[in-house]
A and B are shown apart, each in its own frame.
Chain A
């Protein structure tokens, strides 16, 4: 499903070069729940951005569903992201001028769905994350946990191949974090491929595979029961 070879991202700060990720070879199988962990600055978010096509690496290749995504044009990359990928960001990243329903509808409309079909699918996605009764609320009328669930509903509404989640529980209390992670687990049990960045080992073990990064390199790649 995802395959990278010698994936490298270098940031330049004046004369200094920082290798945020360094020659990473990685494969993620269909239906896998991969947790990426590591300390702050280890490169885990950078890796997620490259895998999720939000950034372009300096070296290496990325294949998603057998497509060499780095060779795609800008427009095609955008369409590929729209169709194949879903994102859940640390700070929810939902649009403040759109209601919960409209936030989830947006990618569906962009895929060419009719308005009625977009409403139907968005409502279903919001129901799945337990927000069926808040669909017309604006983000400002929702709690942090509810906003993150809107973000998850938006990520799954158009049924993508892979969901990328960047520290989805970082801004939530433990109770709400559990609810969000349960939503991920439920999706995973239904066969959804998930790549999640977290610095919380307790949450990482919920995945069925964990990789740990240090200085941009994978230093461990384990099943949770080995931890």
Chain B
């Protein structure tokens, strides 16, 4: 396989030191917009809190200090970051290939179901075998669910936006059916699956906290996806399909295969997140296993500018906000609905700033 120069738009002619400088500058600029988006959102949130009779500034400060209060609160943030980074980084790949995968939520559920199925059915394995088995099951489950939408797109030109949204509902309702029916714990009356075998639990990273090794996997995979997208010919081909599928086809790139592959990769990442959630956190499958990670992952990818490395930062940021939102309630008694409004403002602001950035790129 020949290595294709992928330094980007006309960068090859610039001398290396200048190129590095320019890269650093553009990276700095790329960080500016999310920071501005966040600042605007937090400011609006503070004003909103003030209008509702809270001391907005001290609530916000209390939230930030609470989130970074001690080892345990930091570990909780990282725990929340695991699914957000995994889903966000995966979606970066799909979005780079111009596959608007809105179905990460459903793919998360598909992965969670597959992992649970593997985690409650095979007895007598060692942890060394079992943990890889269920993470693989979760990733395959999610990849399969994402792949369906990819196949429908290339075979019937069915809009992946519509099919992934519909597949979300199917996954959610199927999960509800499974935990109230076939997969329901025989001993519990509450709709939940049996507890996963202890050998299937994702090992803890820091004793005394709930943080598991999934965070390391998430970081490594985000890095791997970055390398794949920007340092491999296969990733390059995938990006070309995203920029212009006709040009890609003309250049001999398999557009259909790449589209399905992009959906499978992002679905697999979401499925893996689902597996980690079940095997690393809840140990059981529930009807409402995801609090909307799949949708928040879209905002993570947007804020990251569809760069898997950026998804680490933006995923971490959304985890801080999510953790802080819960804390905001506990320490300041801000009602949940108001917390949800503030979270919504953050996402809206992020999307608005992302749209501003995309405008020239679309014209160009």
Partners in one complex: no
Interface residues of B (CB under 8 A from A): none
